[in-house]
Amino acid sequence: MAGPIRVLVGKIGLDGHDRGVKVVARALRDAGMEVVYTGLHRTPAEVARIAVEEDVDVIGISLLSGAHMTIFPRLIELLKIEGADDALLLAGGTILPEDAEALVAMGVDKVFGVDTPLPELVEFIRANAKPQ
């Protein structure tokens, strides 16, 4: 039987809005998952490295700074190089529908808006993560 789902939640760039990411971290922990929070102001390279070191099944990145269209391509590229691109990749925050479509096209598995109910997020991860 597989162990608990391991999730990395993180913030990339200079954006300091951490209310959402911390609420999500807590909800996933309360749902029985193992949660690693990167803390604020990380670079894509740091997040890719932590994802490998922590051997996570899911990576969730929260962005409210509007910098998602520059940050995600870089992160996806680094995850590929590090061999961590099999993890489920999720985005959350203030992301317009057209940007969300573009993110999915480049390899993000799902984009969650700011008003997403927590049970919806938990269910999605349970249904789609593949713990080793």
Partner 1 sequence: MTDGGSARRRWEEETVAPFLAGMPERKATFETLSGATVERVYTPEHVAEPDGGFPGEFPFLRGPYPTMYRARPWTMRQIAGYGRPEDTNDRLRYLIANGQTGISIDFDMPTLMGFDSDDERSFGEVGGVGVAVDHVDDLHAVLDGIDIGTISVSMTINPSAWILLAMFLVVAEERGVPRAKLSGTTQADIVKEFIAQKEWIYPVEPSLRILRDMITFGARELPRWNPVNISGYHAREAGATASQEVAFTLAAAITYAERAVATGMHFDEFAPRFSFYFIAHNDFIEEVAKFRAARRLWARIARERFGATKPESMRLRFHCQTAGSTLTAPQPLNNIIRGALQALAAVAGGAQSLHVSGMDEALAIPSEQAMKVALRTQQILLEESGIASTIDPFGGSYAIEATTERIEREVREYLDKIDEIGGTVAGIESGFFQQAISDAAYAHQLAKDAGELRTVGVNVYRDAEAEAIPFALHKVDPDVEERKLAELRGFRAARDGALVEERLAELREAATGDGNIMPATIEAIRARATGGEIVEVLRSVFGSYVEHAVF
Assess 71 for contact with partner 1 (CB under 8 A).
yes
CA dihedral 23, 25, 29, 33 (to 10 degrees): 140
Q: Phi then psi for 7, rounded to 5 degrees?
A: -125, 135
Does residue number 22 form part of the binding site for partner 1 (CB under 8 A)? yes
Interacting residue with partner 1 among 49, 65, 82, 100 (CB under 8 A): 65
**Could you give phi then psi for residue 14, rounded to 5 degrees?**
-90, -5
**From 33-41, 50-58, 78-86, 123-131, span contacting partner 1 (CB under 8 A):** 33-41
Residue 19 or residue 130: which is nearer to partner 1 going by CB? 19
Say which residue the tokens 């390279």 belong to.
45
Q: Is residue 117 part of the contact set for partner 1 (CB under 8 A)?
A: yes
Task: Out of 5, 7, 8, 25, point to the residue binding partner 1 (CB under 8 A).
Answer: 25
Q: Name the token pair of 82.
A: 């590090």
